[in-house]
Structure 1
Amino acid sequence: MAIILAAITTTIKAAGLLIGIGKLTILPILIVAMAYFNYDLMDPENHPHVTKNLYTEYDFIVIGGGSAGSVVANRLSEIKEWNVLLLEAGGHETEITDVPMLSLYLHKSKIDWKYRTQPQNSACQAMIDKRCCWTRGKVLGGSSVLNTMLYIRGNRRDFDQWESFGNPGWSFDDVLPYFKKSEDQRNPYLARDKRYHSTGGYLTIQDAPYNTPLGVAFVQAGEEMGYDIVDVNGDQQTGFGFWQFTMRRGTRCSAAKAFIRPIHQRKNFHLSLWSHVTRILIDPLTKRANGVQFIRDNRLHTVYAKKEVILSGGAINSPQLLMLSGIGDAKHLNDVGINTIQHLPGVGQNLQDHIAVGGIAFLIDYPVSIVMNRLVNVNSVLRYTITEDGPLTSSVGLEAVAFISTKYANKTDDWPDIEFMITSTSTNSDGGTQAKNAHGLTDEFYNEIFSEINNRDVFGVFPMMLRPKSKGFIKLKTKNPLDYPLMYHNYLTHQDDVNVLREGVKAAIAFGETATMKRFGARFHNKPLPNCKHLPLYTDDYWNCVIRQYTMTIYHMSCTAKMGPISDPMAVVDHQLKVHGINGLRVIDASIMPTITNGNINAPVIMIGEKGSDMIKDQWLKRFKRSHSNTTSGAS
């Protein structure tokens, strides 16, 4: 009983991260039920322990314990002779973060960096202050702890294009083994296709344990539109299919759960949480990275790296830290009072993201969708905690995915330009609480468009543009490492992006008009948007206005330290992810992408972590063998 009470106490503390962002009346019951039925899983030893006394020197220092950094720390510490330190600005995951249905409740919580972009008129006009909310995980596991767990690898042509830019070893055939290396595919039908899938890896991939009757209908509607049903991580991307999730037994399988928990007792692995890195130490004469400074327990600490520093802070934090360390555009660094060590004008530039149009909802006549105040109850809580299934295992209603080509894409290429995220929910499904809060919608916009359909049965289609030509940038506000950088999204500043996203909206509405969806009584919630009422409804001008209002980031910020040859003036790292002009420093995360991949990017980021780790091992183990060989031959 003492163990159970301790588990309950731990879980209640975990729930504290939800305080201040809204109330879910069922939450106390969920807390107690999870503690009672799963207390054996809540042993504190199941969580990685923080190393109290750090060494002054490690072979490798990994900055950032997110999706890439967790992989790198795991793989490098496989070599027993190497000491590895992982530094993470946030703390531990909690039991609440495990629950798929609650992911929106994590936005703007204690484990979110709570970034907001600078106001711009091109997009996010329905958001407070016209600023987009860029949720990023400040927690071990990074954004894989807050995301919707969607596992999409991207398109073969993405990676072949990367290689064509002058990055040998990054073609699809080169990277596919690294996707498979991580994967533990739990769908036997998919797992039997050994060309594209594997089992036994650290990262569990499974189908949704819970689907509404809408789920199958979504895929049937795709067939009605003339599309194939496909494995979106298989041979063909164009088509409709069911999502594959980074889930394990109905709970979130974050990068921390997958890659860090299994290794937390390795003697050569040290973990420092609540450790905010402020600077990479670089010798200005040799241009070699030899350590880092970070704040922990309100004190500034310094640790040194014998071999390499690996920067895995993500597409916002990595360029910020490079600039704070004297690597970036010399003029910008001079403007904020930082001495330039290496002039690399591409740092913080080339920012790419996937955006979708929110609020495309279809009312239906049957109570089959996920409405929070109906399905999240005592029965669903008990079902979740005892049998690991039911509505709480749903990832906010995401049931089907589609990749389609608009008239602006070559349909024969199987390189679609729009992704549908199809849900048995929409913005109104929680009565105007968490979705509204997470997306940063103003009260005025939400009330005018959605209040009349609060908690009504709907399904939603979020058309997401896959290959944006609009590129944003990140720059420092000041040289204070605790000040957030300035983020400019530049969404929809390129006319081609406007055209593609507008056609995606039209296709989403056509999806809702299929006979399959009409059987549910589907009808588009066609309330005219406030800032677009002056335009004739459903014209191209009207839709062009619409997409600039409820512009949803899908939180795929990337490409801000792009990979490319030294001949590319905007490249930051080479094809081995080494920072140009700096020894002993690599960047391994989403920021190294030259172009964003065709789909949700968590799987590619984990792949980058796997491939980057092998590059490091290959270099240093070869060097060790050469050194050992020379010593042996000299002795003989």
Structure 2
Amino acid sequence: MWKRIFGTSLLIASIAIYFDYTKPVYRSVKKRPDKHYDYIIVGGGTGGSVLASELSSNPAIKVLLIEAGGHESWISRVPLLAPMQMILDSTWNYQTVPQSHSHVGFHDQISTVPRGKFVGGTGNMNFYIHNVSSIEVHPKLVSALETSRQSPLLTSFIASNDSRGIFSTMSNLQKNGQRLSMADIFLKPAMNRDNLHVMLYSEVLKLYFKDNRVEIVEFRRKTNHFNVTTLDGTQVVLCGGSINTPLLLLNSGIGPKSVLRAQKASVQVSIVKDLPVGQGLSDHVSMPLYFHVNQSKWQDSVNLAKLLNPKHMWEYWTQGTGLWSSTHILGQALFPSDGTMILLYAMGAPNIDAFTYVSNMKRDTFNVLFPEHTDPFKEGFIMLAICLKVKAVAVRSGVKIGNSMSQVEARYHLPKFPECDQFQADIGNDDYVKCMIRVASMTMYHPIGTMAHEDVLNENLSVKGLENLFVVDGSAIGSLPSRFPNEAIIHLALKFAEQRKEEKGFTQ
């Protein structure tokens, strides 16, 4: 085992050094802004990356993109390691307040809410799962799509006998074994345009208003403060995400009057607009369901022994194939009538340290949820039962699918949580299943809707009562998509860019 650890560590170090020394230099990256721009985009995540590329396609239009972080690390390239960005990359490290009706199995009933602080944004920390039908709107996306590898587990999943569900293989945005973010697909190919300026490690602190317009955008880059003044035609577009966009507006005097008055004691802010900013947050919630398999029938899940095998790393490093080239989320089942989605995740033994650090789950809860996780050779898989509010029917759908996967002789592990001892431990017992959900269900890190209130945004995504301020990110999405919000944000940004291109004065 120690030889495997040493060999894998050496290969990982080599890859890290390679990526560090082969980073391209982009002409668009600046250390100081110019005085004026046609568009100022705040946030280089999914929406900001798409907009910066699309709007700067006209050389006569000058665009400034302000991003609080730097470039993503090499880890973001490796499909298998995508969740590790929540540990090893720069994030905003937000947490929820203690929950009253959920997260019983988490420390202080608090969930972590990591948000990406680098080019590509939070979408880059997720698995970049997409559906073919939803991204055919843009050829750049279609060309970057790869479908899941075939395996006995996936075949058995697709063939399961629940007629209510719509089953499909999974598709990811990646090429030659490397993940592709919206920054890779849209922003970086545009980052040598003279009319696109990108300020990295630059945090927008406050917007200043005059006559119902954003007059000044104040931001800080390291120890330097900058103020960019808008012209009559300048449009400011917020793409900071469902937490940072409303937070910036609150710090700028736009939000519920009661909240602004309460924060006056700690932050010097005058009330500009009394709007219900920051309300209406929604998120997908998931319940992990663990399944044992007959190891003589299927031996293709991720476990520690395979992860530390230099052979798999070498295969990925030299050919872009093998264990490391997949997210191992292989398939999905949609249940429209229940508002439920089931994901098939070929993970035999999750790592307790990484999982509990990212999620804030108690180790005792993890031990009950994922049996035999200390066995480095453990084979198995996880179903994620996902919906806006996890219900017993969603959990049962996942269990039914898994137990019907006879090709790998799958068998559901029913966790026996001590917090649920007052109920009979049975998957058919509503009280016990609901208790399971209260103990161990967790966020999917898909928050949306904090700017989507009808009293906050107009149909064209402009902030009500302000002429040149727009919001194009997850906070502007009113209802939680049944699948993945990143797709909806891409659509939103492309539509917004198309509308801007149709305006007088914007010509190709």
Question: So what's the TM-score if we normalise by structure 2?
Answer: 0.91
Secondary structure of the residue aligned to 1:26 is helix
User: Deviation at 1:217?
Assistant: 1.6
Task: Give aligned pairs, total.
Answer: 491
Q: 1:309 to 1:182 in 2, by over 3 A?
A: farther
Match of 1:519 in 2: 407
Give yes or no for contact 2:28–2:193 (8 Å, CA) kept in 1: no
Distance 2:464 2:332 in 1: 38
Secondary structure of the residue aligned to 2:236 is strand
Q: 1:137 to 1:457 in 2, by over 3 A?
A: same
Distance 1:218 1:42 in 2: 42
User: Deviation at 1:451?
Assistant: 5.2
Distance 2:439 2:483 in 1: 22
Of residues 422, 425, 432, the one that matches 1:537 is: 425
Q: 1:47 to 1:533 in 2, by over 3 A?
A: farther
User: Deviation at 1:269?
Assistant: 0.5
Distance 1:610 1:531 in 2: 47
Match of 2:237 in 1: 310
User: Deviation at 1:321?
Assistant: 0.8
Distance 1:554 1:182 in 2: 28
Match of 2:14 in 1: 32
Give the unaligned 5+ runs of structure 2: none
Give yes or no for contact 1:212–1:424 (8 Å, CA) kept in 2: no
Distance 2:95 2:204 in 1: 21
The CA deviation string for residues 536-585 of structure 1, in whole angstroms up to 9 with x for no partner, is: 22211111111111122111100110164xxxxxx311111110001110
The CA deviation string for residues 36-86 of structure 1, in whole angstroms up to 9 with x for no partner, is: 6xx7x9633266763023212211110000000111111111111111110
User: Deviation at 1:330?
Assistant: 1.2
Of residues 358, 365, 368, the one that matches 2:299 is: 368
2:313 counterpart of 1:381? yes
User: Deviation at 1:303?
Assistant: 1.1
Distance 1:111 1:62 in 2: 20
User: Deviation at 1:448?
Assistant: 4.0
Q: 1:46 to 1:398 in 2, by over 3 A?
A: farther
Match of 2:127 in 1: 148
Question: So what's the TM-score if we normalise by structure 1?
Answer: 0.73
Q: How does 1:429-448 map to 2 (within 5 A)?
A: 429-448=349-368
Distance 2:409 2:321 in 1: 28
Q: 1:212 to 1:293 in 2, by over 3 A?
A: same
**Kindly, what percent of the aligned residue pairs are identical?**
26
User: Deviation at 1:153?
Assistant: 8.0
Secondary structure of the residue aligned to 1:292 is strand
Of residues 282, 285, 298, the one that matches 2:223 is: 298
Secondary structure of the residue aligned to 2:40 is strand
Q: 1:513 to 1:45 in 2, by over 3 A?
A: closer
User: Deviation at 1:129?
Assistant: 1.9
Match of 1:611 in 2: 495
Match of 1:454 in 2: 374
Give yes or no for contact 2:152–2:408 (8 Å, CA) kept in 1: no
Q: How does 1:343-354 map to 2 (within 5 A)?
A: 343-345=274-276, 347-354=277-284
Distance 1:79 1:451 in 2: 56
User: Deviation at 1:24?
Assistant: 9.5
Give yes or no for contact 2:292–2:381 (8 Å, CA) kept in 1: yes
Q: 1:152 to 1:342 in 2, by over 3 A?
A: farther
Give yes or no for contact 2:170–2:332 (8 Å, CA) kept in 1: yes
Letter paired with 1:526: L
2:481 counterpart of 1:502? no
Letter paired with 2:330: E
Distance 1:65 1:550 in 2: 33
User: Deviation at 1:26?
Assistant: 2.1
Secondary structure of the residue aligned to 1:290 is strand
User: Deviation at 1:31?
Assistant: 3.5
Match of 2:385 in 1: 463
Letter paired with 1:214: L
User: Deviation at 1:320?
Assistant: 0.7
Give yes or no for contact 1:418–1:464 (8 Å, CA) kept in 2: yes
Secondary structure of the residue aligned to 1:595 is coil
Letter paired with 2:194: K
Secondary structure of the residue aligned to 2:466 is coil
Secondary structure of the residue aligned to 2:358 is helix
Match of 1:422 in 2: 344
Letter paired with 2:14: V
User: Deviation at 1:620?
Assistant: 4.6
Give yes or no for contact 2:202–2:220 (8 Å, CA) kept in 1: yes
Q: How does 1:303-342 map to 2 (within 5 A)?
A: 303-306=228-231, 307-337=234-264, 338-342=269-273
2:207 counterpart of 1:207? no
Give the unaligned 5+ runs of structure 1: 1-22, 155-175, 187-203, 228-237, 410-415, 469-496, 565-570, 626-636
Give yes or no for contact 1:179–1:603 (8 Å, CA) kept in 2: no
User: Deviation at 1:418?
Assistant: 0.4
Distance 2:130 2:27 in 1: 25
Letter paired with 2:172: F
Give yes or no for contact 2:303–2:347 (8 Å, CA) kept in 1: no
Distance 1:621 1:179 in 2: 29
Give yes or no for contact 1:48–1:261 (8 Å, CA) kept in 2: no
Distance 2:495 2:351 in 1: 44
The CA deviation string for residues 273-306 of structure 1, in whole angstroms up to 9 with x for no partner, is: 11111111211xx110123111111222111232
Distance 1:59 1:267 in 2: 14
